[in-house]
């Protein structure tokens, strides 16, 4: 059982256990006049094989969980940032950069890096590095785009922007938590 606030995941090895538990859970909740939300409740069989419903992943706490293999070929549960959360993060950074682009550069870059560190602290876990590196690159492009719109003249070429980044670096992601 994995629980966070009002979200819970129950994991079972055998399908018979899932069915028995699901029936017992419904019965227990009915005693207290509570119901399971059918649109939020689902049974997912995590396997490499394609099943009839196509259910091989589930989203929980901003991550998409799926079965994969490590470098040594061992099957294990892996995770990556869910598409919905990734898009939401990019949109938040875009809106923040757009609204703060006229802030003095020192202050702008400090605040941007603090925001990135907060995002990294949550999302940079083992198996999710590719998603976060993609976010880092997207933020680099957004900063380039919006700093070039500070005036009517284009401020940077990409080469000049790379020199700018040497002085005012955008914080790179590093794995914070190794889950294995």
Instruction: Tell me the pLDDT tens digit for each residue of 157-179.
Output: 899 999 999 999 999 998 877 76
Task: Please state, rounded to an integer, the average pLDDT across all residues of the chain.
Answer: 87
Residue, of 114 and 42, whose pLDDT is higher = 114
* 137 backbone φψ class: left, alpha, beta (φ>0; ψ -120 to 50): alpha
> Beta-carbon neighbour count of residue 103 at 10 Å?
14
pLDDT at 171: 94
Contact (CB, 8 A) for 76 and 127: no
As a whole number of angstroms, the distance between CA 61 and CA 8 comes to 10
> Beta-carbon neighbour count of residue 72 at 10 Å?
5
pLDDT at 99: 94
Q: What is the mean pLDDT of residues 74-87?
A: 90
Burial of 172 (0-12, 13-18, 19+ CB in 10 A): exposed
Whole-prediction pTM value? 0.80
Question: Measured between alpha carbons, how far is residue 104 from residues 6, 98, 107, 111 in Å?
Answer: 42, 13, 6, 11
pLDDT at 48: 63
Burial of 85 (0-12, 13-18, 19+ CB in 10 A): middle
Contact (CB, 8 A) for 16 and 23: no
> Beta-carbon neighbour count of residue 41 at 10 Å?
12
Model confidence at 125: pLDDT above 60: yes
* Secondary structure class of 145 (helix, strand, coil): helix
pLDDT at 3: 79
Contact (CB, 8 A) for 164 and 60: no
pLDDT at 53: 52
* Secondary structure class of 177 (helix, strand, coil): strand
């Amino acid at each position: 059982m994995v629980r966070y606030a009002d979200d819970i995941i129950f994991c079972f090895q055998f399908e018979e256990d899932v069915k028995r538990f699901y029936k017992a859970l419904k019965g227990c909740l009915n005693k207290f006049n509570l119901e399971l939300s059918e649109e939020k409740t689902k049974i997912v069989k995590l396997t490499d094989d394609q099943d009839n419903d196509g259910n091989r992943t589930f989203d929980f706490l901003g991550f998409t969980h799926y079965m994969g293999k490590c470098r040594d070929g061992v099957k294990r549960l892996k995770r990556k940032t869910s598409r919905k959360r990734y898009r939401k993060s990019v949109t938040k950074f875009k809106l923040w950069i757009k609204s703060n682009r006229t802030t003095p550069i020192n202050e702008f870059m400090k605040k941007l890096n603090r925001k990135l560190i907060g995002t990294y602290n949550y999302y940079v876990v083992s198996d999710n590095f590719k998603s976060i590196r993609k976010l880092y690159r997207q933020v680099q492009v957004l900063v380039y785009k919006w700093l070039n719109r500070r005036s009517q003249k284009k401020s940077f070429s990409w080469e000049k922007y790379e020199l700018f980044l040497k002085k005012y670096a955008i914080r790179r992601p590093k794995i914070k938590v190794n889950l294995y």
